[in-house]
Structure 1
Amino acid sequence: MRLNIAVLPQPGTQHRIFGEPQWRQLEVLGRVAANERAGKPEPEAVRQLLKGADIAITSWGCLPFTEELLSAAPNLQAILHAAGTVKGIVTPAVWERGIRVSSANGPLGIGVAETALGLTIASLKNMWSLVSSTRAGGWYAGRENVRELYEVTVGVIGAGQAGRHYIRLLRQFGVNIIVYDPVLSAEQAAELGACKTELDTLLAESDVVSIHAPLLPATYRMINRDRLMAMKDDAILINTARGAIVDELALVEELRKGRLFACLDVTDPEPPAEDHPLRSLPNCVLTPHIAGAVGNGVKRLGQFAIDELKRLVAGQPLEGEVRQEQLATLA
């Protein structure tokens, strides 16, 4: 029996997550009904797409699966989300109906971790300052501040998908890796190749601090003035998670002292005001939220959703499965 597959994102998003190879794979797996309406989805149009659906593929901009929508798809087995967090689409009705949910947080985290590693290496190498210096005609000035990713301590805040992959990448280097995550055990940290520690210890001991925590009430401005002041001189702070985890006013104060270096891919809000000091401080590198899936990397999320569907058909575990009890600690 062939599956009925509803592809719910609007056409522009479909184009981002699927290329021709992905569409061909979907057509082999079942009958595909794709959203052809551009713009914000209308509930009734989504209901029509869901009629008789066994599988729903979602991504950015999709509606929550309310009881009203789900009533059109009594046979729906799984929602495969070709994006990160599922909090915006999952409702209690989904769990009540026993519908399985999968998120592409894993492949999304690959891009985040790779970006964090690139920022780590470039910052330790003092590349940002050296580029400015050489453009101005210099050559040797600043080379004395170059460090290697060797015999330094890297602190990882958050051991979700992105944090774990960042740790895996760091294991290729001769560095000491410490991690803070309240739901991670010491044994799990050791299996990853890191040493579990408390947040204040991590901040005091790390040469590089990379934030990969979800934004939750407990993590809102978790990196506050006191914790920033506790960081080592010349330490590097990298945030590819959520801007609101860091108290930006306090960070500006510390950056103005010249003690720290920051690489921020996220801010609170986004974008920051045109005259925000983070845009002009020489010891702050600001990028426009590019650490996750961008450009050709977005296809990785669509392919992951298709691979999850293949695993579902084969009776294999879903690699990105999200369970109801996990939602409280997920981004």
Structure 2
Amino acid sequence: MTEPRVLISDKISQAAIDIFKNRNVAVDYKPGMTKAELIACIGDYDGLAIRSATKVDADVLAAATKLKVIGRAGIGVDNVDIPAATARGVIVMNTPFGNAITTAEHAIAMLFAAARQIGAADASTQAGKWEKNRFNGVELYAKTLGVIGCGNIGSIVADRALGLRMKVIAYDPFLSPERAIEIGVEKVELDDLLARADAITMHVPLTPQTRNVLSAENLAKTKKGVIIVNCARGGLVDEAALAEHLKTGRVAAAAFDVFAEEPATSNVLFGCPNFTATPHLGASTTEAQENVALQVAEQIADYVLTGAVTNALNTASVTAEEAPKLKPFIALCERLGAFAGQIVDDGLEAIEVEYEGEVAGLNTRPLTASLLAGILKPLLADINMVSAPTILKDRGTPFSEAKRDLSPTYDSLIRVKVKTGGKWRTVAGAPIGGQPRITEVKGMALEAAFHQRMLFINNSDTPGFIGALGTKLGAAGINIATFNLGRVAEGEDAIALVGIDQAVPAALQAELKALPQVRYVKVLEFI
């Protein structure tokens, strides 16, 4: 058997290089290569280990004729063309949990810096001013810390804050009441957190749902004198609105490690009173850099030697024998999960998955991972089939899986139930003719293909609805590609799944919701 070869194209520790050597993986250490140099040699390697400097674009991947795996020492993979890698069958891995402690510690450090105005006091003192009376800080003891996002990093921040004898309240739709009790925080809604917190720290990814979570409107709801800390992602805070609040003193202080545009050589917050900034240093400690380097070396070595997959962004753990059998079910699960995730409108409280028929006898772990990733993706950007189950578990969201050997109608059927706002919502599907199909919504049977954009409507089955719907869509220039209906019985609960070719403006959605027969309207998108 030919010894696998791995290229390391960014700076990495000797200990990580030694992992490859000790496991009989040939390794070449060539940091700082140009793109042309990388393209010239990448065809000789089975694996590629990188940090952030190496750009793995379509050109590099086209030359990587032997490449099987790319491992990123760190969480961000903006420097890797993942769709191109997937198309070429190259697994992309990262190390999402290697810098959690470091990032949490930086958030606590920034909280102290803001509370005691350490940056400004340092600059003043070193300028020879000795302005002892100018820098009158606040104690953190007995204050209330509001944590937005209480996952891996957020829960560590909460633990450290509890050690400072702060009271911790948390807003996180995925955080279960049981998990909140376990980690010692009070689970609250966002408006409650804004009204009560003496300091607010954010630990969520940047998604459409979290962008500007501290908008101008929400900043106005905070307590006078609040401290704002952001060591998570730029774009979570309306920076211009925060600057105004710092100038008026409504926000006492703020400390940011991340900005909407980076590198942040200029920003509306720079120069504002009591504002502290660092240049995205959350993961920048010796220990964190070493941890992610060692982890990525282990992961790549495991894969090239045994085929084991860990923290993959574009695949699940599937053996060569299982792959052909699971392929149509994985395609179905990705879409069912996306459907379920997009109808979680009021916090994710629980998930149930049911496998019926022949699929129940297969390896359902990658199927479940695909479902969970689809459900979580609308709210969590950094999610994949491998990390989804772990993240769900960390957040304490109840999850159950059931298997039944027989399915009443189909050879195999997969049903997903999500609890949101105290109510269960259900969608089921089956591979029919090798293609994923929706076979049930809210317990109502139908058969519908997944369309790239779909209109999901829950309505009462009364005359005039279909005509009114078609008229409004036609008037808006929206073409209907597919139309599928399901109902309980004449005059009772019904659903419509409408494949459409154009986007539905918010104003039209409001018009559809106002129809007398309509109970619920949602535009679903499937990539």
TM-score range, shorter chain: 0.7 to 0.9
Residue 131 (structure 2) aligned to one of 123, 128, 138: 138
Q: Is 1:22 equivalent to 2:7 in the alignment?
A: no
C-alpha deviation, 1:295, in angstroms: 6.2
**Partner in structure 2 of residue 330 of structure 1:** 381
Contact kept in structure 1, 2:38 and 2:60, CA below 8 Å: no
| Partner Cα distance (1:130, 1:43) in 2 | 47
Residue identity matched to 2:4: N
| Partner Cα distance (1:192, 1:69) in 2 | 47
C-alpha deviation, 1:239, in angstroms: 0.9
Residue deviations 1:12-68 (CA, integer Å, cap 9, x gap): xx22xx222322222112111445661336774364143xx2x44233233157996
Q: Is 1:83 equivalent to 2:77 in the alignment?
A: no
Residue 260 (structure 2) aligned to one of 256, 260, 268: 268
Residue 73 (structure 1) aligned to one of 66, 71, 83: 66
**Partner in structure 1 of residue 417 of structure 2:** none
**Partner in structure 1 of residue 524 of structure 2:** none
Aligned pairs for 1:252-263 (under 5 A) are: 252-260=243-251, 261-263=253-255
Secondary structure of the residue aligned to 2:131 is: coil
| Partner Cα distance (1:48, 1:31) in 2 | 15
**Partner in structure 2 of residue 6 of structure 1:** 6
Residue deviations 1:122-175 (CA, integer Å, cap 9, x gap): 3223434544665522335544x3313x22211222234432332333342312
Secondary structure of the residue aligned to 1:243 is: coil
Contact kept in structure 2, 1:203 and 1:227, CA below 8 Å: yes
C-alpha deviation, 1:306, in angstroms: 2.4
| Partner Cα distance (2:3, 2:164) in 1 | 46
Give the TM-score normalised by structure 2: 0.52
**Partner in structure 2 of residue 45 of structure 1:** 40
- Identical pairs, percent: 24
| Partner Cα distance (1:67, 1:277) in 2 | 38
| Partner Cα distance (2:112, 2:312) in 1 | 33
| Partner Cα distance (1:170, 1:215) in 2 | 24
Q: Is 1:94 equivalent to 2:86 in the alignment?
A: yes
C-alpha deviation, 1:176, in angstroms: 1.7
Residue deviations 1:250-293 (CA, integer Å, cap 9, x gap): 1111111112111011122224454x442211221122222223
Residue identity matched to 1:48: G
Distance 1:64 1:8, change over 3 A: farther
**Partner in structure 2 of residue 291 of structure 1:** 282
| Partner Cα distance (2:164, 2:200) in 1 | 16
C-alpha deviation, 1:226, in angstroms: 0.8
**Partner in structure 2 of residue 63 of structure 1:** 56
**Partner in structure 2 of residue 235 of structure 1:** 226
Residue identity matched to 2:83: T
**Partner in structure 1 of residue 99 of structure 2:** 108
Secondary structure of the residue aligned to 2:143 is: strand
Residue deviations 1:45-102 (CA, integer Å, cap 9, x gap): 364143xx2x44233233157996498237x3x54321212364433863995x7654
**Partner in structure 2 of residue 191 of structure 1:** 182
Contact kept in structure 1, 2:233 and 2:258, CA below 8 Å: yes
Secondary structure of the residue aligned to 1:282 is: coil
Aligned pairs for 1:171-186 (under 5 A) are: 171-186=162-177
Contact kept in structure 2, 1:213 and 1:219, CA below 8 Å: yes
CA RMSD of aligned residues (A): 3.4
Residue identity matched to 1:179: A
Residue identity matched to 1:118: A
Distance 1:47 1:307, change over 3 A: closer
Secondary structure of the residue aligned to 1:278 is: coil
Residue identity matched to 2:217: D
| Partner Cα distance (1:142, 1:162) in 2 | 30
Residue 26 (structure 2) aligned to one of 28, 31, 40: 31
**Partner in structure 1 of residue 216 of structure 2:** 225
Q: Which moved more, 1:178-187 or 1:115-124?
A: 178-187
C-alpha deviation, 1:227, in angstroms: 0.7
Normalized per residue, the structure richer in strand is: 2
Residue identity matched to 2:27: V
Residue identity matched to 1:167: A
Secondary structure of the residue aligned to 2:166 is: strand
| Partner Cα distance (1:252, 1:308) in 2 | 43
| Partner Cα distance (1:163, 1:34) in 2 | 36
**Partner in structure 1 of residue 201 of structure 2:** 210
Residue identity matched to 1:94: T
**Partner in structure 2 of residue 305 of structure 1:** 296
Q: Is 1:244 equivalent to 2:295 in the alignment?
A: no
Contact kept in structure 2, 1:5 and 1:57, CA below 8 Å: no
Secondary structure of the residue aligned to 1:156 is: strand
List gaps (5 residues or longer) in structure 1.
Answer: none
The structure with the larger Rg is 2
Secondary structure of the residue aligned to 1:218 is: coil
Contact kept in structure 2, 1:43 and 1:69, CA below 8 Å: no
**Partner in structure 1 of residue 400 of structure 2:** none
Q: Is 1:167 equivalent to 2:161 in the alignment?
A: no
| Partner Cα distance (1:211, 1:24) in 2 | 37
Distance 1:163 1:49, change over 3 A: farther
| Partner Cα distance (2:264, 2:300) in 1 | 39
| Partner Cα distance (1:217, 1:46) in 2 | 40
| Partner Cα distance (1:244, 1:190) in 2 | 30
| Partner Cα distance (1:256, 1:119) in 2 | 19
